[in-house]
Amino acid sequence: MQSYSINGVICDASEAKVPVNDHGFLYGDGVFEGLRFYNGRILKLRAHLKRLVDSAKALRIQLPMSAGKLEEALLEVVAASTHTDGYLRLIVTRGVGPLGIDPSHCEAGSVVIIADQLKMVSEEARDKGARLIISSVRQLAGDQLDSRIKSLNYLTQIMAKMEANVARADEAVVLNQSGYVAEGSADNIFIVTGDTLETPPVTDGALDGITRGLILEIAKNLSIPVRERSLTTYDLYIADECFLTGTGAELIPVREISDRQLSNTPGPIYSRIREQFHRELQNDAWFD
């Protein structure tokens, strides 16, 4: 069952509304965070809130609630949820304003929080590995819209996901303007080459994912060599292993990329990292 909060007030579905002239609805003018909670505790809560604050600052959106009040509101939604484990969507809009894209006349924005369940792929894909395609849709360049800003405008990702749906694939890989691998439609991507874990740098258009950071931390603690470098589709095709990560995705192994089968799915390095990830979910340090 879903749980809602509008501007810090818990409400039911019939009351969970924002005005139709809110620029978040009209123009996608706003920011968001996706968070996970496990056993009633929110994973990396303050890291998510810092990223939200940074996204809002980059877009010159004045947060209508302080980070402390946002934290309280999130915890209240989790407490009101019927689920002990679930997904949170935290949205901050620019606010109500007149028609037209000029944001200077917008009033204070809205804060919307939704607690629900989220499943990115089927259980079969999670167990046996997902099928990926290379999308024709390109990630915007950093001087157009920096991928570190989690804005409400997700059309690039939606169009990539539509291509995956048409191809009957589970996910799409998005390349940047130079043809290097950026990310999936809603997740970061990792490959294993030999004994080394590799992932695209944020400067290539990858979201600076919270879970991405946790995976890099786990790999280093497991003495798995880690390298952030620019990747091409060739690197994906010849990889020994591949997997996706994200708050919504958690960890998803990949078995096929554009009709090319990977030899190890789930691979040994992925399996070690996944096992340690679930072990670390018992670590209080991850729930700060």
Q: What angle do CA 9, 49, 175 make, to 5 degrees?
A: 120
Instruction: Give one DSSP letter per residue of 97-162, joined into a string.
Output: --SSS-GGG--SPPEEEEEE---SS-HHHHHH-EEEEEEEEEPPPTTTS-TTS-BS--HHHHHHHH
Catalytic positions are 150
Q: Token pair of 240, please?
A: 């020994």
Q: What 8-state DSSP symbol labels residue 240?
A: S
> And the tokens for 205?
């258009």
Q: Are 114 and 88 in contact (CB under 8 A)?
A: yes
CA atoms in the 13 A half-sphere facing the CB of 185: 24
